[in-house]
Amino acid sequence: MMMMLGIWTAFVHVSIFTWAEGTPPNVHALDDGLALTPPMGWYPWNIFGQEPQNEKLIKEIVDTLVTSGMRDAGYSYVGPDEGICFLRASDGKLTTNFERYPSGLRGLGDSIHERGLKYALYTDAGTHTCSKAMPGTKGREFEDMRRFADWRCDYVKIDWCHTEGQDVVKAYTLLHDAQHAAGRPIVHSLCTWGEGSPWKWAAAVGHLWRTTGDICGPGLADWESAMKIAFDNETLFEWAGPGHWNDPDMMIVGMPGLSEAQNRSFFSLWCMMASPLMAGNDLRNMSKSTIQILTNREAIGVNQDPLGIQGRIIRRNGQVSIWAGKRLFDGSQAVLVFNQRSSPADVRVLWSDIGMDDTAGLYVRDLWAHETTGPHAGAISVTVPPNDVAMLRISKSKDFPLPPIIIADTYVVSLRATDTAAQTLSAAVTIRNQGSAELPLWKVREGLPGWLSVTVAGDGKSQTLTNRISTAGLKKGFYHAIVRVDNTEPVSGRPMSAIYYDVDLEVPNNVGGGSK
Ligand code: GLA
């Protein structure tokens, strides 16, 4: 971690600023309230590859997401990657591979939702997934997305292997249309490794897109590859924003072979770039230091900032770079000083470099030491140890509020009628705001079925969503609704956060008392 220096040392710099190819974006992201901040979660591929993936592993990881505090820090999407979890049956339908996933893919999803987490799956736009062990969606896009919806999937990574002759824009547009037709809100994570420059078009059909090749092979972190990916991804900073993110791949934090400083540096870079934070390590065997890094709420606050700006390099001198340009919701700015040398670097960050007015001096928060100093006039000087970072937040105010991070106690409500006379059943979903900025304005979106009403009550920190079900007049059967609750920005009416959850109702007999 860095030390603040009393004496300011000059920072000699060469500016090697690279602009993204193409014209500056005027992006119209999907208006579905999904991925308004970079998705956070866990995928098995980086550490496990294919073979060890099965239901037992995913469930153990789900447990650790909860017990390690990662869920409460914001990690939510979890599920098998290329884990041979489904096959195509002889009738053409996708079916669970019950040998590996005995509860079925719907059962696995339910158990994830019950723990207050969301369900991620994986497929491919071509004929097969990369290893050829699983079917791709080509030619069966609508049926497959319907199946993903039946399994109650919330996030799907769609790979680009075995797609010879397919047009990348058309293929992912079709998959988006198919998902839309299936009627379930699902985050679409495109995985073309940058092929077809997805940053230029994919915001209209998905929520995140891989910008580069794979960060590592299963089981082995590759620091050189991670650094190349970080610096390539940086050049695309203009194309990211709420609902549409550049994805430099899953994280390698906590994988064998990395030092604590490398883990910290990696995490800080991903947070600064507003990158999706999909952990890729074995959560069941984490050191204390890895947990502390992955759950550093001040760094996560930079990543999950609602303005969704991707930080960029404003100065680079050989192996020392200053990353900034990341204005945060409270008017403060995040700054990262990254030292890739094998010796310490003395670096001076000028307030004029980051476009902040310094008349009254500025406060500096060290996001790894969790200390505030200041006011500092004109600049701050830091000494960054070898291969490490200084991650700072700079503000006119002494307060450094954390942006909202919304956690639900469950994402499913299941009720069963017990009587043939009309009944009112009720169950609550509690959502908590883990940030310090208040979010009191939650509102249920219209369009609920007649048997369900939802009321919202609470304050800026916690809301209770009471689901009231009236069985009057319902016929025997299963009923299902997806509830969307938005937190709306008071002036623009723009959703700042949105959550979705499922409501299930079983009615074992026809119920009297109504006309439905
Ligand atoms: C591709 C993706 C990886 C992983 C593997 C699975 O290589 O880029 O992230 O999903 O496929 O085979």
231-236: long-range pairs with CB below 8 Å, 24+? 232/194, 233/273, 233/275, 234/18, 234/273, 234/312, 234/313, 234/323, 235/18, 235/19, 235/20, 236/20, 236/199, 236/211, 236/310
Closest ligand 1 atom, residue 130 Cα: 12
Residues facing 373 on adjacent strands: 364
Q: How far is the CA of 192 from the centre of ligand 1 (A)?
A: 10
Beta strand pairing call for 406-408 and 424-433: antiparallel
CA of 348 to the centre of ligand 1 (A): 40
Which residues have CB under 6 Å of ligand 1?
A: 45, 81-82, 129-131, 159, 191, 214
Residue with token string 């993110």:
245
- Closest atom of ligand 1 to 129 CA is 12
Nearest CA owner, ligand 1 atom 11: 130
What is the pLDDT tens value at each position of the chain, 516 positions in all?
444 332 222 222 222 223 334 445 566 778 899 999 999 999 999 999 999 999 999 999 999 999 999 999 999 999 999 999 999 999 999 999 999 999 999 999 999 999 999 999 999 999 999 999 999 999 999 999 999 999 999 999 999 999 999 999 999 999 999 999 999 999 999 999 999 999 999 999 999 999 999 999 999 999 999 999 999 999 999 999 999 999 999 999 999 999 999 999 999 999 999 999 999 999 999 999 999 999 999 999 999 999 999 999 999 999 999 999 999 999 999 999 999 999 999 999 999 999 998 777 999 999 999 999 999 999 999 999 999 999 999 999 999 999 999 999 999 999 999 999 999 999 999 999 999 888 888 999 989 999 999 999 998 889 999 999 999 999 999 999 999 999 987 777 777 889 999 999 999 999 987 545
Residue type, 288: K
372 Cβ neighbours under 8 A, 6+ residues apart: 363, 364, 365, 366, 398, 400
- Which residues lie below 8 Å from residue 446, measured CB to CB, with a gap of 6+? none
Q: How many of the other CB atoms lie within 10 Å of CB of 69?
A: 15
Residue 500 CA, ligand 1 centroid: distance in Å: 28
Atom 4 (ligand 1): residue with closest C-alpha?
A: 45
Calpha distance 46→251 (Å, rounded): 8
**Which residue minimizes the CA distance to atom 6 of ligand 1?**
82
Q: Whose CA is nearest to atom 8 of ligand 1?
A: 214
* Residue type for position 165: G
CA of 127 to the centre of ligand 1 (A): 15
Instruction: Say which residues have a Cβ less than 8 Å from residue 302's Cβ, sequence separation at least 6.
Output: 271, 272, 326, 328, 334, 367, 391, 393
Q: Which distant-in-sequence residues (6+ apart) come within 8 Å of 170 by Cβ?
A: none
- Which residues carry out catalysis? 159, 214
Q: Which atom of ligand 1 is nearest to the CA of 81?
A: 10
Q: How far is the CA of 385 from the centre of ligand 1 (A)?
A: 34
Task: List the one residue out of 31, 30, 33 whose CA is nearest residue 444.
Answer: 33
Q: Whose CA is nearest to atom 12 of ligand 1?
A: 130
User: How much is the pTM?
Assistant: 0.94
Say how far apart CA 147 and CA 88 lie, in whole Å.
11
Cα of 145 to ligand 1 centre, how many Å? 20
Rounded to an integer, what distance in angstroms lies between the CA atom of residue 55 and that of residue 485?
Answer: 30
Closest CA to 299 of 468, 74, 499: 74
Task: Quote the tokens at residue 437.
Answer: 């900025």
CA distance 201 to 150: 28
For residue 249, the ligand 1 atom closest to its alpha carbon is 9
